[in-house]
Amino acid sequence: MEIIYRLIGIIHTPFAERSGTPIQPAAAAGAVGRIELADCYRPGLKDLEGFSHLILLYHFHRSCGYELEVTPFLDTQPRGLFSTRAPKRPNAIGLSVVRLSAVRDGVLEVAGVDMLDGTPLLDIKPYVPQLNPAAVDRIGWFSGAVADLPGRIADERFSLTGW
């Protein structure tokens, strides 16, 4: 089955290369970006300024191929791909929760960006914690790894040469 998505905009960030990019929005404090929505989708931004955070779904446009076992950024052990948030995936779809700073003339100003400059945006959804309440009691191998997350940046593990 073929599935086709339409680009609705472009995410602009200060990150041109994977190496040096924050590994998750939680590690991207101070990283700001902007999203330019295509003109035909701009009416869909109505009422968005009332939300502090957004869920962005996007395409890992510089990713190619994947492996079912990877050594993720926060670990030194090979893990099953689906137990990680590694960028090389069978369907190169990324998800990030970012802070919305402003909506101006079809451009969203956001903070906490962890994606590469020029990333194609597939969808925007408002983040509403009450709609996704999940009191988790385990986070797998991440439990020992997320303590030092703030400020962590990508290394060469998933460099563009391997994408």
| Beta pairing, strands 93-104 & 9-12 | unpaired
Q: Can you give the residue ranges of every domain in the chain?
A: 9-128
CA atoms within 13 A on the CB side of 21: 22
Q: For 41-91, what is each residue's pLDDT tens digit?
A: 999 999 999 999 999 999 988 877 898 999 887 788 999 999 988 888 899
Check pLDDT > 80 for residue 159: no
Residues 6 or more apart from 83 whose CB is under 8 A from it? 140, 141
Q: Which two tokens stand for residue 63?
A: 């990713």
pTM as predicted: 0.83
CATH 2.40.30.70 fits 9-128, yes or no: yes
- What's the 3-state SS for the chain? CCCCCCCCEEEECCCCCCCCCECCHHHCCCCEEEEEECHHHHHHHCCHHHCCEEEEEEECCCCCCCCCEECCCCCCCCEEHHHCCCCCCCCCEEEEEEEEEEEECCEEEEECCCCCCCEEEEEEEECCHHHCCCCCCCCHHHHHCHHHCCCCECCHHHCHHHC
Check pLDDT > 70 for residue 148: no
Q: Could you tell me what percent of the chain has a pLDDT over 70?
A: 83
Check pLDDT > 80 for residue 101: yes
